Chain A
């Protein structure tokens, strides 16, 4: 069953801790993206990657980091430097960079206690 999988679905973190959100796809897509969704703010771009071992900052990259060591995987680390990390995080992939359909994962909800 092809698709894009995010884990965990829910995550709680104490202030000052880093946390890594997983994103895996078996669609053989080259491009992968991370968005943050807050009420009334739409989907804001955090990081994206068009190819293995390469990625670019989006509009709100501060306090986040990513890696793209494998085509299938694009994990996002929310660092302690992110001032307001409580949010819903969506990962997406696309077969043709930005001119084709984005396939989204089910999302990960991070709550900082």
Chain B
């Protein structure tokens, strides 16, 4: 089945710096790669996703890049702000016929002002 590895597990940056979180997946048939953000005490929420027919997608300060050959995808956050502090999870399709999302172990991002 699908295996998703996520690095780093913790990341500390200064406000205004960029942050990059990387994930690798094992199933070459996977075609959908979302990123979720979970603030302290809250439920995970989708922040951006990318499908396998594109290599990059941007939404304001966040972007996701995908390298299908290497089977990895990354989340990029520019001009970080304290409110970006949260746990970020990447995911890829798994389960029976890819009908469930398999998540990475998460990255705790801390942005200090």
Contact = CB atoms under 8 A, between A and B. Distances in A.
Contacts of B45: 104
A48 B46 contact: no
B13 to A, nearest CB: 20
Contacts of A98: 32, 93, 95, 98-101
Contact of B95 (A42, A56, A99, A102): A56
A101 B34 CA distance: 8
B46 A102 contact: yes
Interface residues of B, number: 26
Given A42-B104, A42-B105, A45-B100, A59 B1 contact: yes
A107 B101 CA distance: 17
A64 interface: no
Interface string B80-107: 0000000001000111101111111110
Contacts of B43: 90, 104-107
Interface of A: 31, 33, 35, 40-45, 48, 50, 56, 58-59, 90, 97-99, 101-102, 104-107
